[in-house]
Amino acid sequence: MKAMILAAGRGKRLRPLTDSIPKALIEVHGQSLLERHLVKIRDAGISDVVINLGWKGKQIQDRLGSGSRFGLNIEFSDEGDNVLETGGGVFNALHLLGDDTFLVINADIFSDMPIPKNNLPEFCLGHLVLVPSPAYCDSGDFELVEGKVQNGKFPKLTFSGVAQYRAEFFNGCNQGRFSIVPLLRKFADAGKLNGSLYEGFWADVGTPERLAIFK
């Protein structure tokens, strides 16, 4: 299984910190968010990683290089100034991810969550790791019923930004900028997403206030 880390975002809500560095290189306890993910991916036995690049992407390339110092093989999917969002970014990198199930992680999360095992049953196109909705969220994203991810009127669980997908999840998509959320909604309704609940430590490092918690 290969892994992809979504690291192309501008990080506007973290300005001015992200005026000079990409969000993925923000450090918590002396180590960048991105490098924390790489260590966990390596320790889970995954050796091939794709990282998409956007804002200040060259800083990430220069810092990580080939990935050899992490014991990894890293390839980059450079989106330049035309950042393709979550869905478009993964779709653009499919030629690097191959035909097998792959892992996707949002770079801007901080968690002690273990890397999930490859546990997609044949009928599923994706597996989402969900977490209890944090206090700063007005509502959740999904419900989890007997292992199936479902849309609901009053969902209490939030998508953690950690997921596994089959390449077929993106069948019918076109090159360009798009969010992955409509696809998640569609396949949840179709019964083709399974999921798991992680109740350990998890945080979306999206604002200076959230980042300050870890300082």
Encode the chain (215 residues) as per-residue pLDDT tens digits.
999 999 998 766 656 666 667 888 888 777 889 999 999 999 999 999 999 999 888 999 999 999 999 999 999 999 988 899 999 999 999 999 998 899 999 999 989 899 988 778 888 999 999 999 876 666 789 999 999 999 988 899 999 999 999 999 999 999 999 999 999 999 999 999 999 999 998 888 765 555 555 55
| Count of structural domains within the chain | 1
Tell me how far CA of residue 170 lies from CA of 63, 91, 156, 174, in angstroms: 31, 7, 27, 9
For residues 132 and 171, give the distance between their C-alpha atoms in angstroms, rounded to a whole number: 30
Tell me how far CA of residue 113 lies from CA of 32, 44, 66, 77, in angstroms: 16, 12, 25, 25
CATH number reported for the structural domain that contains residue 178 in this entry: 3.90.550.10
Would you state the structure tokens that stand for residue 170, as one six-digit string?
């993106």
pTM of the model: 0.92
Range of the domain at 98: 2-212
CB 99 within 8 A of CB 26: no
pLDDT in tens, 65-94: 999 999 999 999 999 888 999 999 999 999
